[in-house]
Amino acid sequence: MELDRAGLLAALALQLDWGAEEALEDAPPDRSAPARPMPVIPAAGEPPAPRPLAASATVVAVAPPAAGRAAEAAAAATTLDELREAIRAFDGSSLRETATNLVFSDGDPASRLMFIGEAPGGEEDRLGRPFVGPSGQLLDRMLASIGLRRDEGGFCITNILPWRPPGNRTPTDAEIALFLPFVLRHIALVKPRRVVLLGGTSAKALLRAKDGITRLRGKWHPISVEGLGIVPALATLHPAYLLRTPAAKRDAWADLLMLRRSIDADGA
């Protein structure tokens, strides 16, 4: 006992030398009590288990993430007009704060042929219509060469993003994912017999593909759309790319001939 007492006094003196001036607890701890279990540490990447709220805690409602709200707003739209207004009212992206106009769609959705591009440019943002700038004018000429004209109900056209990104920059992956529910709902409401994906952004977003447009183009791919099933989609080069790379027009022309043959095959 004297040895234990001497040891404790020596430990206390050591703590005083270290600068300890007050006790951390009101009473000495019971060293003979069973040790408390260690807290469970979640594995890497695994979210921690939620702690139960105290009985007196107040539950505060938290707005769902923007992606969840986008999916809910898109699913609630039963007409194209409702979908347009749902996109206009959606505040989950800062793009609408820097854009001039919402760019929803153009052409005739009753044609059952749908083109989907990347995002509006400066002219599209100013007029509120997709593909009205130089690339859109080239696209109209190309489609007219196979007998398709938007002003005669030959097709409808839209973009992955409904708002122009600042400076015409490429859409980010987060922006594409955020607006994808609206695009898929747009397809479901139009009920197209076939879809044409203009450029890599549109093709990779809707085909869930990692390959570039040069590997995806010239082929029909299936798109799964809720409430509609499988829709055949043809990936091709964006007309803006053709303006920069005229030599690629030969590949684009081959894709258009493939589209024309498909339309002629079923008479629609």
Sheet of strand 106-107: strand arrangement: 106-107, 156-159, 113-117, 194-198, 229-236, 220-225
pLDDT tens for the chain, residues 1 to 268: 444 565 556 555 545 544 445 554 455 555 555 544 444 434 444 444 444 433 333 333 334 589 999 999 999 999 999 999 999 999 999 999 999 999 999 999 999 999 999 999 999 999 999 999 999 999 999 999 999 999 889 999 999 999 999 999 999 999 999 999 999 999 999 999 999 999 999 999 999 999 999 999 999 999 999 999 999 999 999 999 999 999 999 999 999 999 999 999 987 5
Contact at 8 Å (CB) between 141 and 183? no
DSSP secondary structure code for residue 230 in this structure: E
Residues 157 and 77: their CA atoms lie apart, in Å, by: 19
Query: CB count, 10 Å around CB of 268?
Result: 11
| CA-to-CA separations, 251 to 143, 247, 248, in angstroms, rounded | 14, 8, 6
Please spell the DSSP secondary structure of 50-113, one letter per residue: PPPPPTTPPP---PPPHHHHHHHHHHH--SHHHHHHHHHH--S-THHHH-SS----EE-GGG-E
Contact at 8 Å (CB) between 77 and 185? yes
pTM: 0.76
| β-strand pairing of 156-159 with 106-107 | antiparallel
User: What is the torsional sign of CA 10, 13, 17, 18?
Assistant: positive
